Amino acid sequence: MNWKRNIVAAFIFLGIGSYIYFGLNKFFDLNFVKAQLESIQSFKSENFELSLLLYFVIYSLTVALSIPGAVILTLLGGAVYGVFWGTLVASFASSIGATLAFFVSRILLRDWVLGRFGKYFEPINRGIQREGVSYLFALRMVPLFPFFMVNLLMGLTTIRATSFYIVSQIGMLLSTVVYVNAGSQLATVNSLSGIISPPVVLSLVCVGVSPIVAKYVLSVIKKGKA
């Protein structure tokens, strides 16, 4: 297990170190992206497959390293590739990147955190065991919870990696569509805070918690019949 930790730690150190040293945060600024949009679209027109691959890799690594920038990249996907291709690539890149971040948390942090704060995670693990994947689905559907924190937190729990990936892939799809669609009109987007309106947030919350509510109602019905 030590060699796994060493490899993952080196990967994280190299990635985040490069991000800080080369000042890569400027590439995740909304105004910068809008200013470079014409050049990016030109590159895409001449190298469609290569641009898609680069977009997928950059997106996945950004999420895997828990670097803030997923929203900007999702908007960029809509602006450059349109709703269909933007949603398709961003959806898989975000889920795969999230799963990589999940593994980073599980390999590097889980033993240390549980050894010191294990009692605080017992309710979370019980919630996952009781509610199943619907617990994660609710977290994924509600855009109020920080994306990277869900990835790292779930890595500390007992949830299976395959379940984490599948639920993340499904649970993040609707919000991805919302951001990609907004990105297709990137020229009119002036602030990230205004992309998802309160009615949209409320709709996502309702969809996200519906499996838990349904499971609770069914359990009450079963108890009533018992």
Three-class secondary structure assignment of the chain:
CHHHHHHHHHHHHHHHHHHHHCCHHHHHCHHHHHHHHHHHHHHHHHCHHHHHHHHHHHHHHHHHCCCCCHHHHHHHHHHHHHHHHHHHHHHHHHHHHHHHHHHHHHHHHHHHHHHHHHHHHHHHHHHHHHHCHHHHHHHHHCCCCCHHHHHHHHHCCCCCHHHHHHHHHHHCHHHHHHHHHHHCCHHHCCCHHHCCCHHHHHHHHHHHHHHHHHHHHHHHHHHHHC
Are 127 and 81 contacting, i.e. CB atoms less than 8 angstroms apart? Answer: no
pTM (two decimals): 0.83
pLDDT at residue 164 in the model: 94
- Is residue 100 within 8 Å of 64, Cβ to Cβ? yes
Look up residue 195 and give its two tokens.
């992309």
What DSSP designation does 29 have?
A: -
Query: What is the structure's pLDDT at 128?
Result: 74
How many domains, the chain? 1
List the one residue out of 42, 24, 28 whose CA is nearest residue 80: 42
In the chain, the percentage of residues whose pLDDT exceeds 90 is 38
- Domain extent, residue 171, equals 2-225
Q: Which of 165, 156, 55 is nearest to 99 (CA)?
A: 165
What residues contact 140, with CB distance under 8 A and at least 6 apart? 150, 167, 168, 170, 171, 172, 208
Give tens-digit pLDDT for 84-103: 999 999 999 999 999 999 99
Task: Return the pLDDT at 192.
Answer: 63
Please tell me which of 2-16, 27-41, 105-119, 189-203 the model is most confident about, judged by mean pLDDT.
27-41
Q: What is the pLDDT, as a whole number, of residue 125?
A: 75
Average pLDDT value for residue range 196-208? 57
pLDDT tens-digit series, residues 128-171 = 777 767 778 888 877 667 888 889 889 988 889 999 999 999 88
Q: Stretch 159-184: mean pLDDT, rounded?
A: 89
Q: What's the whole-number mean pLDDT along residues 203-213? A: 58
Alpha-carbon gap, residue 172 to 70, rounded angstroms = 12
Q: Which two tokens stand for residue 73?
A: 């990249």
Task: Say how many C-beta atoms besides its own lie within 10 A of residue 61's C-beta.
Answer: 17
Tokens at residue 114, please? 């549980």
Instruction: Indicate whether 197 pLDDT > 70.
Output: no
Q: What is the pLDDT of residue 85?
A: 96
Averaged pLDDT of the chain? 82
